[in-house]
Amino acid sequence: MSALFTPFELRSLTLPNRIVISPMCQYSAEDGKASSWHMIHLGHLALSGASMLCIEATAVEADGRITSGCLGLWNDDTEAALVPVLAAIRAHSRIAVTMQLAHAGRKASSQLPWEGGQQIPVAQGGWLTHAPSALPHKEGEAAPIALDKAGLARIRTAFVEAAQRAERLGIDGLELHAAHGYLMHEFLSPIANQRSDAYGGSLENRMRFPLEIFDAVRAAFPADKPVGVRISASDWVEGSGWGIEQALVFAGELKKRGVDWIDVSSGGVSPLQKIALGPGYQVPFAEAVKQVTGVNTISVGLITEVQQAEEIVASGKADLVAMARGMLYDPRWPWHAAAKLGASVDAPPQYWRAPPHEQKTLFGETRFGTR
């Protein structure tokens, strides 16, 4: 039996296979509200045969958006906009739907990527950003506002309220975004965090705020539903002070608190990063987290080939594999993987006639009569 197509349990959630669709920012929301694009985008991915679909980084407050087009979940309007999207998915797919909750920190107030992606000054329609310290992401940008106690409390509360809204929407699980140079990662990395209070300096102090957010969200979200965390295991900046050794300590603290998975990525906190790209280049990070802490791990990063994904799971390097660009390029990747590995996937009856004759059991023992 294929390892990639064996079931996996996350609290009360039973996944039929180990393929996850990564959260992918679409920059297509309107004042934080899901649009018709989300209906199409998430709807077609829900028919992919993957076991879990994670909704893109969803800002917990308006100032926490990367761009003006980023999805949000901070008020009744943003919550209501997701209702029809989720209803359509539930009507036609049994895929588990999770959501990544996020705050962009000092990387907020940016242009859409296809418009350059650079910081937008307040005078040109941007907004004030917030971070652990008043240090800009790169030279020439406006410095963010260093968060005080009231600001920290506001953001913790925003994460909790977003988690409660996600539960009302029927979301199956949550992932907290502590990677890619956004707010929670900014607290972890000395590149962005140069505070001298209880939230800066030592590794224990730098972990404090992300762990507070996790504890608060875990307490606010139903106990039978999973909560995971995406981390950057390395800043890819020599001497940065945040690498796999510190990431393993953070992962261990999350495990103590009952984290259900750690989605292991890297980079994003500095434009000085030097990333050694290649197929599966982040798999060793996930493997290290798995081996040292024993926590459930998701591996990401240029995983495109079926045998590559199968080997990652079969060898125990990670429990699940998550795909982003590869899934956009081939939205039926799980179908094709199942066909190659002699497995089956779930599909709506409208598509039961799709596989070639030699793959007639791809969707299990299906029947499609005509007259």
What whole-number distance in Å separates Cα of residue 113 and Cα of residue 123? 20
What whole-number distance in Å separates Cα of residue 67 and Cα of residue 118? 10
User: What does pTM read for this prediction?
Assistant: 0.95
CATH superfamily to which 8-359 belongs = Aldolase class I (3.20.20.70)
- Between the alpha carbon of residue 6 and those of residues 1, 108, 188, 307, 336, the distances in Å are 8, 39, 35, 15, 16
- At residue 263, what are phi and psi to the nearest 5 degrees? -95, 110
Write the pLDDT tens digit of every residue in 38-67: 999 999 999 999 999 999 999 999 999 999
Write the pLDDT tens digit of every residue in 202-246: 999 999 999 999 999 999 999 999 999 999 999 999 888 899 999
Catalytic site residues?
182
Residue ranges of alpha helices (H) inside the chain are 36-45, 76-92, 149-169, 183-188, 203-220, 244-256, 283-293, 306-314, 325-329, 333-341
Which pLDDT score is estimated for 328?
A: 96
- Between the alpha carbon of residue 314 and those of residues 4, 7, 212, 284, the distances in Å are 7, 13, 34, 15
8 A C-beta contact, residue 273 and residue 188: no
8 A C-beta contact, residue 252 and residue 291: no
- pLDDT higher than 80, residue 366: no
Percentage of the chain beyond pLDDT 70 is: 98
Q: Which of 52, 43, 57, 58 is nearest to 21 (CA)?
A: 52
| Rounded mean pLDDT, 145-158 | 98
- pLDDT higher than 90, residue 89: yes
Q: Which residue has the higher pLDDT, 15 or 353?
A: 15
- pLDDT higher than 70, residue 365: no
Which pLDDT score is estimated for 355?
A: 87
Which pLDDT score is estimated for 262?
A: 98
Write the pLDDT tens digit of every residue in 261-280: 999 999 999 999 999 888 88
